[in-house]
Amino acid sequence: MKKNRLLPYILPLMAIPALVISIALKNPTPADGAGLTLPSGFDANIVADNLGSARHIAITKQGDIYVKLNRAKNGKGILYLHQTGDKATVVNGFGNYAGTGMYIKDGYLYASSNEDVYRYKLNDKGEVINPNQPERIVVGLLNRREHESKSVVLDNNGNIYVNVGAYSNSCQEKDRQKGSMGRKGCPILDSAGGIWEFKADKPDQHYGDGIHYAKGLRNVVGLDWNQQDNQLFVMQHGRDQLHDLFPDLYTTQQSAIEPAECLYAVKEGDNAGWPYIYYDQEKHEKILAPEYGGDGKKTAGEGTIDPEVAFPGHLAPDGLLFYTGNQFPERYKNGAFIAFHGSWNRAPEPQAGYFVVFQPFKDGKPDGKWEVFADGFAGTQAQKESGNAVHRPCGLAQGPDGSLYVTDDNKGTIYKISYKK
Amino acid sequence: MKFIKSAFILLFLVIACSNLKAQVKHSSKSIKSHLALSIANGKVVYTQNCASCHQVDGHGVQNMNPPLIQTSYVLGDKTKLIKIILNGFNEDVEINGNTYSNTMASHDFLKDKEIADVLTYIRHSFGNKASAVSVAMVKSVRAAKK
Domain ranges of chain A: 39-419
Nearest to B52 among A175, A241, A386 (CB): A241
pLDDT digits (tens, 9 = 90+) for A108-117: 999 999 999 9
Q: Burial letters for B53-70: b for 16+ Cβ neighbours within 10 Å, e otherwise?
A: bbbbbbbbbbbbbbbbbe
- In this prediction, residue A217 carries a pLDDT of 98
- In this prediction, residue B74 carries a pLDDT of 96
Shortest distance between the Cα of A346 and any Cα of chain B, in A, equals 7
B55 CB near a chain A CB, below 8 Å? yes
Q: How confident is the model at residue A101 (pLDDT cuts 50, 70, 90)?
A: very high
Q: How confident is the model at residue B12 (pLDDT cuts 50, 70, 90)?
A: low
A155 CB near a chain B CB, below 8 Å? no
Could you state, in order of their start, the residue ranges of all structural domains in chain B? 35-145
- In this prediction, residue A348 carries a pLDDT of 87
- In this prediction, residue B6 carries a pLDDT of 61
Reported residue count of chain A is 421
CB contact under 8 A, B52 and A243: yes
pLDDT digits (tens, 9 = 90+) for A344-359: 999 889 999 999 999 9
Out of 3.40.50.2000, 3.10.180.10, 3.40.1450.10, 1.10.760.10, the CATH code matching B35-145 is 1.10.760.10
Which residues of chain B have a CB within 8 Å of the CB of A145?
90, 92, 101-103
The class that CATH gives domain A39-419 is mainly beta
Mutant choice from A97, A100, A167, A177 vs B, greatest count of B C-beta within 10 A: A177
pLDDT at residue B22 greater than cutoff 50: no
Burial class (CB in 10 A: 0-12, 13-18, 19+), B131: exposed
**CB of B123 closer than 8 Å to CB of B132:** yes
pTM summary value = 0.88
Write the CB contacts of A191 (distance below 8 Å, at least 6 apart in sequence). A142, A164, A207
Q: Give the helix/strand (H/E) hosting B81.
A: helix B78-87
Q: How many CB pairs (< 8 A) connect A and B? A: 63
